[in-house]
Amino acid sequence: MNMADETTQSDQARAAPAAQPLALRISDRLRRFVDLVGRMGSWLVLPMVIFTIIDVISRKIAWLDDDGRLHGLQVFLVSVFGRMFESTMLQELEWHFHAGLFALVLGYGYIHNAHVRVDLIRENLALRRKAWLELLGITFFLIPYCLTIIWFAYGYAVSSYAMGEMSASTVGLTHRWIIKSVLLFGLVVALLAGISVWLQVAVILWADDRLRFPLMTLEWPEEAGTKIEGKERVKLEDAPDTLVAPDELLKERTSKILTGS
Higher pLDDT, 245 or 90: 90
* pLDDT for 79: 87
Average the pLDDT over 13-17 and give the result. Answer: 43
The Cα-based distances of 151 to 9, 148, 242 in angstroms read 49, 5, 52
Confidence grade of residue 259 (pLDDT, cut at 50, 70, 90):
low
Checking if the pLDDT of 246 tops 80, the result is: no
Question: What average pLDDT score do residues 78-91 get?
Answer: 87
- Examine the pLDDT at 12 and tell me if it is beyond 70: no
Q: How confident is the model at residue 196 (pLDDT cuts 50, 70, 90)?
A: very high
Judge whether residue 48 has pLDDT over 80. yes
Q: Which residues contact 211 (CB under 8 A, 6 or more apart)?
A: 20, 21, 203
pLDDT band, very low/low/confident/very high, at 241 (cuts 50, 70, 90): low
More confidently predicted of 135 and 250: 135
Instruction: Name the residue with higher pLDDT: 112 or 74.
Output: 112
Distance CA 205, CA 242 (A): 44
**SS3 of 238, please?**
coil
The more confidently predicted of residues 36 and 2 is 36
Average of per-residue pLDDT across 243-260: 63
pLDDT, position 58: 87
pLDDT of 92-135, one tens digit each?
999 999 999 999 999 999 999 988 887 778 888 899 999 999 99
Alpha helices in the chain (DSSP H): 3-19, 22-41, 45-60, 73-81, 87-104, 106-111, 127-137, 143-162, 177-206, 246-259
State pLDDT tens for residues 156-183: 999 999 999 999 888 889 999 999 999 9
Residue 77 scores a pLDDT above 50: yes
The answer to whether residue 223 scores a pLDDT higher than 90 is no
Q: pTM above the 0.85 mark?
A: no
Average pLDDT, the chain: 85
